[in-house]
A and B are shown apart, each in its own frame.
Chain A
Amino acid sequence: MEPSEIERRLERILPTVQKPGRYTGGELNQIVKDWQSIPLRVALAFPDIYDIGLPNLGLAIFYESLNARSDVLAERVYLPWGDMETAMRKESLPLYSLESHRPVADFDVLAVTLPYESLYTNTLSLLDLSRIPLFSSQRSDDQPVVIAGGHAVYNPEPMAPFIDAFGIGEGEELIHEMIDAVAAWKQAGQPRRDLLIRLAGIPGVYVPSLYEPEYHPDGRLSQHRPLVPGAPKKITKRILATLPPPPTRPIVPSIDVVHNRVSVEIMRGCTRGCRFCHAGMVNRPVRERPVEEILSAVSQALKNTGYEEVALLSLSSSDYTKILELVEQISQQATQQRLVISLPSLRIESFSIDLMEKLRGSRQGGFTLAPEAATERMRNIINKPIAGEQLLETARAIYSRGWNNIKLYFMIGHPSETLEDVQAIADLCKAVIAEGRKMIGKRATLHAGVSTFVPKPHTPFQWAPCDSMEQIEAKLNLLRCELRGPGLRMTWTDHRDTMFEAWLSRGDRRLAHVIHEAWRRGAKFDAWQDFFNYELWLDAFAAAGLDPGFYTHRKRAEDEVFPWEHIDPAVRKSYLLKEYLNSQSGILREDCRKHCHGCGILPAFARVRREHPGDIWKCPEVPRHTARTLTPIGEG
């Protein structure tokens, strides 16, 4: 279908749907290149609605860097909301790109970002609305090559049959290499399988159709077998030695979206080593951007967008080496220009309040901290030490220095957590609000955000089971009863959402049947409360002949072969196991900026590290002999 015809049909549909501005493109800073003269066309897709997808930083990075190439054009695709999907199907309108209004099926590459698992069914909708066969095996030579990346694909297996090639790890360089391979293949005019083999030869690329999983009779994975010589046994993630300058010309939507702001990543990775944290394990090593680079990116991006808000992103802002200098500099700019600056993930200490005070402009927002657990026992298990008294002291200081609301994040549902540990969360919240009342009276409020533990792949808890549904419910009930009363508020994750997240993040390739079956039965927008249907998913499991409990409630033996084991985040399994055992003995591990625990990242990227020595990585220098003794036997 030609763009003019798509536009003709759109003009008739748009007045009938909610927020039609989601579907038009044409925003400030969008890049439209000449379709005819550019040999390689990439559709960048976020498989949720525009409002959620537009602010995604990953896609913004690819959008700028791909469009900077003269031989490539990159355009955006998001998923239509229900009303628009119905209208599009009724008018036989295929999914199209926002820039040139071309059908997605006309592109050479469809690149999908999968930051979290609840986008899996949406990805099938994306393919279906684009009129691209759902299964990789059914796609013909002239259909788009479907690639995917993002945090969720550190376990790619549940989506394996639907994706032609996964990019593992940081994509800034990798995506260009993948695009180059597609260009070369297109020029050579070879069959699709040749491209897949070509892609499999790029470090960091996983082509699932070149592998076959084999299972024990009891359902456990026995091995993940490469089918061709060119398919590597392990796919090691890609990293960048230093972070490239951040994008400075993001698209500014003409309608309200979830985050209307300039986002600049100040640091990648985290050295804290919290044992439940997927991001902290897979994003190693820690690399910081220089203060001047951040400031200059912020200024440029503000000039290019006119935004009134800036988010400085990282997994742990307090750990950014020159955080004080950065905050002082940026706060000057903030006051002059009436900017709101957000700085997430601050440590529980009074220095964090000093930082926030510098950034506080006209707005009296809340103050967010994440103690996660309330007993020393649990804190030792998850490796997030913080003294209870220190939290109370910090809370007192926050209330007394002008904030009325404190938000505390907790995580329940670790299998070794008892009801006493949960009771301690309630007691801690009550102690905090009591302090608040003492300081500022009835204005003091406390919001407890309670999430439930999911044993994520590539973390020390990958061997652990999920808590039972009954236990989770009992723990949530306890908190719901306790956290009542003036000034107290609690929000929580429903235990069914937790199970769903656990199935999809821990699944093997057979889970693709469940995803497909669930999608066929109408599952979509699973991240949205209004849409997620637990019963439907259970039915899909039954139809696929699989037991959901096999994925969530089984404690893994130490020698279990995980479905994600061929994907290597360069953190060793032996290190993760040691950390798992440490957690069981309640042994804490200090921040690895101070002391290397030998996770494996340095030997895996030894050459890169040699070429980029010193302070660029926050890994301490390790004497060579130590590094060698840390190398476990039988790895690799």
Chain B
Amino acid sequence: MQRFRINYAKMDALRYTGNLDMQKVWERYLRRAALQVAYSQGFHPQAKIQQACPLPLGFLSGVEIVDIWLDDDLIGAQELTRALLNTPQPGIDIRSVESIPLNAPALQSLVVSAEYAVELLEPKASADLPARMQLLLDASELPRQRRKKSYDLRPLIEGLSLDQRDESRWPRLAMRLSAREGATGRPDEVLLELGLEPAQARITRTRLIFS
């Protein structure tokens, strides 16, 4: 058995495919590529495909990662890449494939933060946005509720800035948020705190930061 780590971008309409369905998309992608995916033991064997850091529905990403286990001792990363590229899956852009040790730790446990680029789809919000962002960064705590649970958003925000280099475009926000297990900041929550409607924003995960 071998284990591979695939870095890919999640693009286009696939942004509206949730993590559960992405598992199936990957399973079928690997089947089309005629790769011998390993299956778990037991009554209901599952394909051994592990996604790192669930991406919220509707987000784009340039930095998705999935680990796969193959019942194939001969295939190399290059051959695997070729097999995947030969039968492309719409919305998945393979960036790199590497062989990793079978016993390497799960990705999830290594991720500490994630960076996001947020494009605002309506220009109206921009005028006092810098001031509101500063207010938010200056706050010592930002109590919020999500799914009926209270939490403090402030410590989850590690960085927040406005990118207005390109005048022709609508404002873009850059965020760096905590992505530890049990302490994950969500960009849509930051937008709500800024008084912006998350549905009016195109959010792309741009970087995962590991410990």
Q: Which residues of A are interface residues toward B (Cβ below 8 A)?
A: 11-16, 20-21, 23-28, 30, 252, 254-256, 260, 302-308, 337-338, 362
Contact = CB atoms under 8 A, between A and B. Distances in A.
Contacts of B39: 338
A28 B13 contact: no
B200 A12 contact: yes
B144 interface: no
A24 B20 CA distance: 18
Contact of A15 (B21, B25, B198): B198
A260 B16 contact: no
B60 to A, nearest CB: 11
Contact of B91 (A23, A26, A256): A26
Contact of B32 (A15, A27, A260, A304): A304
29 contacts: A11-B202, A14-B16, A15-B58, A15-B198, A16-B199, A21-B18, A21-B21, A24-B13, A25-B13, A26-B13, A26-B90, A30-B90, A254-B13, A254-B14, A254-B16, A255-B16, A255-B21, A256-B21, A256-B24, A260-B24, A303-B32, A305-B32, A306-B27, A306-B28, A306-B30, A306-B32, A308-B31, A337-B31, A362-B45
Contacts of A27: 13, 90
B141 interface: no
Contacts of A307: 28, 31
Given A14-B58, A28-B90, A362-B45, A20 B28 contact: no
Contact of B17 (A13, A21, A337): A21
Given A26-B13, A308-B27, A20 B90 contact: no
Consensus secondary structure, chain B interface: helix
B21 A26 contact: no
Contacts of B100: none
Given A14-B16, A26-B91, A256-B21, A20 B58 contact: yes
Nearest to A304: B32
Contacts of A20: 16, 57-58
A254 B32 contact: no
Contacts of B30: 306
Interface residues of B, number: 30
B12 A26 contact: yes
A255 B22 CA distance: 8
Contacts, number: 75
B170 interface: no
B121 interface: yes
Contacts of B89: 28
B8 interface: no
Nearest to A98: B13
A73 to B, nearest CB: 18
B16 A24 contact: yes
A254 B11 CA distance: 12
Contacts of A21: 13, 16-18, 21
Interface string B28-60: 111110000001000111000000000001100
Interface in B135-180: none
4 closest A-B pairs by CB = A306-B28, A26-B13, A24-B13, A306-B31
B36 to A, nearest CB: 10
A561 B202 CA distance: 61
B56 to A, nearest CB: 10
B16 A306 contact: no
Contacts of B24: 256, 260
B110 to A, nearest CB: 28
Contacts of A304: 32
Contacts of A337: 31
A431 to B, nearest CB: 30
Contacts of A302: 31
Given A14-B58, A254-B17, A338-B45, 15 more contacts: A12-B121, A12-B200, A20-B16, A23-B16, A24-B16, A27-B13, A254-B16, A255-B17, A255-B21, A256-B20, A256-B21, A303-B32, A304-B32, A338-B39, A362-B44
Nearest to B26: A306
B28 A305 contact: yes
Contacts of A256: 20-21, 24
Contacts of A28: 28, 89-90
A11 B32 contact: no
A12 B20 CA distance: 23
Nearest to A19: B16
A83 to B, nearest CB: 13
Nearest to B32: A306
Interface string B119-135: 00100000000000000
Interface string B173-204: 00000000000000000000000001110100
Nearest to B59: A15
A30 B30 CA distance: 19
A14 B24 CA distance: 22
Contacts of B12: 26
A200 B14 CA distance: 44
A62 to B, nearest CB: 22
Contacts of B45: 338, 362
Contacts of B13: 21, 24-27, 254
B17 A252 contact: no
Nearest to B203: A15
A509 to B, nearest CB: 42
Nearest to B37: A338
Contacts of A252: 28
A256 B24 CA distance: 9
A148 B164 CA distance: 53
